[in-house]
Every structure is written in structure tokens, then in C-alpha cells.
Amino acid sequence: MPTASITVPIAVKPATFRWLRAVDTEPKNLRMCIDADARLAAAAGGVARFLADAAGLEGDAVARLQSAVIEACLEAFQHLATNHPHLEIDFARFSDRLEVSLSREDAGPVVGIHTIPGFAANKLEKAPDSATLSGVDRVQQETHGNEVVTRLTKYLRQVAPSL
């Protein structure tokens, strides 16, 4: 699907404005493409917070999901390829869960599954009651050629389905 945009040089970096198009009034899927900047990771966390709040999660669960998304973004920033230093984030709302998928081009040999989702394992070792660890119910990682996808899942019901 082609997209139209205008690129305007400003200050140091060109700014891009995409043409406006009609969208659903209740978005269930959102996509962001961000550079490695902690402020943009916080913005991604804000999107997760909005979707979690709209899905009816309680305040504490909303804040923990937001923290988990921010930390996953910050961890992924450390593994971005120099020729494609962008992180694509897809937010999907389903009837029973929220999914946040972080996609990036891999910089070199495939990073082991312990690295990016490892932020949760490290938190468990350091602080078993970590708010970040309890922010998601499931962490998955897949590789497709040079693309690495990390998926964070938060189930909306009390108990996550058994795997």
C-alpha cells in the first residue's frame, strides 16, 4: 500500500509529514517506527498504556505494561543495525489480549533469545517482585531472515492460557 508524504528540511534532520487519511474511531492496531531515543520509547509506552486502559485493565497493570514496553524498547535499541537504525512497533488489541511486537533488522549474527526478552529474566534474578517483569504475561522472539521480532503479550483475563 503506497503512502504519500512530504519531507521538509528543518534544523538538522528532515521532518516528514504523512498525508492524513481516514481511520477507525476505535483503533485496534497501531504501528510506530522510531529511532533509538529514550523519549520515543516512552511514547511507545504511552501507546501501550492507552490501549491497556481502553481495554479495561486496572491502574497497576496498566503502569506495569507501560514499563515493560519502555524497557523492551530500550533493550532493543542496543541491538539495532547501523544501516537500519529503526525499531518498528506494532500494537494489536484482540478480544482476549494486547500484543506489542518490536521488529528490527539484526546487526549481525542472530542474537540469542536470552538477550532481548532477557530483560525479564534479569529482572527476576535481581528483583523477583519487579514491576517490569509482571507487566507482561508472555515474551516471544522470532527471526525471519535478518528481521528479529520480539512479541510482548498481556492477557486481558485473569489467567493466561496454558501453552
Beta-bridge mates of residue 113: none
d(CA 51, CA 153): 13
- Interval 5-33: pLDDT, tens: 555 555 555 555 555 665 555 557 899 99
Ordered by where they begin, the domains of the chain are 35-155 (3.30.565.10)
Q: CA of 40: how far to CAs of 25, 33, 69, in Å? A: 24, 9, 11
Rounded to an integer, what is the distance from CA 134 to the centroid of its chain? 16
- Interval 60-116: pLDDT, tens: 999 999 999 999 999 999 888 888 889 999 999 988 899 999 999 876 554 444 444
- The structure's pTM equals 0.68
User: pLDDT value at position 108?
Assistant: 58
